Amino acid sequence: MSKGTSLSKDELLTLLDKLKGLTLKPKEKTVFSIGGRGHYENPISDVLAFFLDPNEVHELGPLVAQAMLKCAGITAAPHSIQAIYREHVTSEQARLDLVLVGDDWVLAIENKVYHSADNPFSHYKEYLGRTYPGHKQYFILLSPKNDKAEGWHPVSFTDLAQAIQANMAEQVLELPFNKWHFFLRDFLTNLKRLSGADAMDDITFELLQESMSDIYRLEKIKETFNEEVKQRGLKLLAERIGEGFTVKMQKWASDVPVYRFRRDEWNDGNDVVLVVGYGAERSHKLRIYIDGPVLNKLSGVLEGAGYKYENKGESNDRWDCYFLDKNYFSITRGLEELSKVAKLVDDWHVATGRIIAK
């Protein structure tokens, strides 16, 4: 590949061919990732304590506790949980993340996200033995990657999440339809993310790493192309209608690029939009955004020019005039058609005295 700021046509085609089959799955957002605390141990332990308690308001009963015990091969009955403690302080002022106490059993859970498992585990075991004599003791080390500690059963975030999801699938007809059900699903997604379940595979990472300098140059090429689309659109509008147009580039859902063209003299907020298609179809569409009352009067002009459209009301009381019968398989053709539609809109503004013809 060339070392300059641009790629030759052959280099560009080679790079695009290399990356063509690459599919990157977007990471699902959760309440935890949005809040920026999804990787903190304390919030994870707090949420886990809430769902482990069969008597809490989530109405899921022992579903989560049952999954946790099953992951560690523990046969204790989750229904018999009498108390759950967070940050349980020991005789040496150490803190156990979670302690579950049953009728005749006690379970300590240490939750480790990005910290190494170097806690005083032997002290924890000795302390529980003295504090809960006659109770069978269980110990779980919960972590993203199955960290190990002598005498503690390792449980990964993914294993726990999958066990909980399996229980949810088995009890789907019995589960409550409430906010906690959805919150738990979000929590499980966060756990799996922390364990690297949605991480990029090594082959993809290496491919992108090797091509990174060219990808950066490709981004510059894309920026240059977007600017060229805007300038060509403005040139067509100036030639067909006149000066005074502005353009903004936006991204809609799934990163679909759109170019919004507006004339300064259209002071009613109207604009004409080219929606760029990519993927299998690669067809481009036109939309115009017009105030509802204006569209009612302009619709005859559009229909007279052969445009069929569908009106879609929006929350801000504006109308989306979406042309159903036009797909343009090149941006050049789409821009040409956009300039024609803009001319119809501009002519209507002139004819109704909204703007003065020059």
* pLDDT given at position 297: 72
Average pLDDT of the segment spanning 196-218 = 71
In the numeric block, the tokens 């075991």 are attached to: 125
Q: For the chain, where are the alpha helices, taking DSSP H only?
A: 9-20, 31-35, 41-52, 63-71, 121-131, 157-170, 179-194, 202-210, 212-240, 292-304, 331-351
Asked whether residue 38 falls in the same domain as residue 164, the answer is: yes
- Report pLDDT digits (tens) over 2-16: 444 566 777 777 777
The rounded percent of the chain whose pLDDT value lies above 90 is 14
Residues whose CB is less than 8 angstroms from the CB of residue 56 and which lie 6 or more positions away in sequence, other chains included: 50
Contact present, 112 and 44 (Cβ < 8 Å):
no
Query: What distance in Å separates the CA atoms of residue 57 and residue 142, rounded to the nearest whole number?
Result: 24
Asked whether residue 182 falls in the same domain as residue 40, the answer is: yes
194, 218, 239 - which closes a domain: 194
Q: Is residue 80 part of a domain?
A: yes
Instruction: Please tell me whether the overall predicted TM-score, pTM, comes out greater than 0.85 for this model.
Output: no
Amino acid making up residue 157: F
User: Containing domain of residue 105, as a range?
Assistant: 31-194
Contact present, 289 and 262 (Cβ < 8 Å):
no
Asked whether residue 52 falls in the same domain as residue 181, the answer is: yes
Q: Is residue 138 part of a domain?
A: yes
DSSP state of 152: B
Query: What distance in Å separates the CA atoms of residue 223 and residue 231, rounded to the nearest whole number?
Result: 12
Asked whether residue 241 falls in the same domain as residue 190, the answer is: no
Asked whether residue 177 falls in the same domain as residue 321, the answer is: no
Query: What distance in Å separates the CA atoms of residue 208 and residue 229, rounded to the nearest whole number?
Result: 28
Q: In the chain, what is the greatest distance between 2 CA atoms, to the nearest angstrom? A: 96
- Report pLDDT digits (tens) over 83-113: 898 987 776 767 788 999 988 888 989 888 7
Q: Is residue 114 part of a domain?
A: yes
Number of domains in the chain: 2
Q: Is residue 256 part of a domain?
A: yes
- Report pLDDT digits (tens) over 56-80: 999 899 999 999 999 888 887 777 8
Query: What distance in Å separates the CA atoms of residue 184 and residue 186, rounded to the nearest whole number?
Result: 5
| Exposure b/e, 163-195, CB count within 10 A at least 16 = b | bbeebbeeeeeebeeeebeebbebbbbbbbbbb
Asked whether residue 187 falls in the same domain as residue 45, the answer is: yes
Asked whether residue 67 falls in the same domain as residue 186, the answer is: yes
Asked whether residue 170 falls in the same domain as residue 39, the answer is: yes
The overall average pLDDT reported for the chain is 78
| Joined tokens for residue 175 | 């589960």
* pLDDT given at position 327: 67
173, 194, 215 - which closes a domain: 194
In the numeric block, the tokens 């909204």 are attached to: 354
Amino acid making up residue 134: G
* pLDDT given at position 294: 67
User: What is residue 258's three-state secondary structure?
Assistant: strand
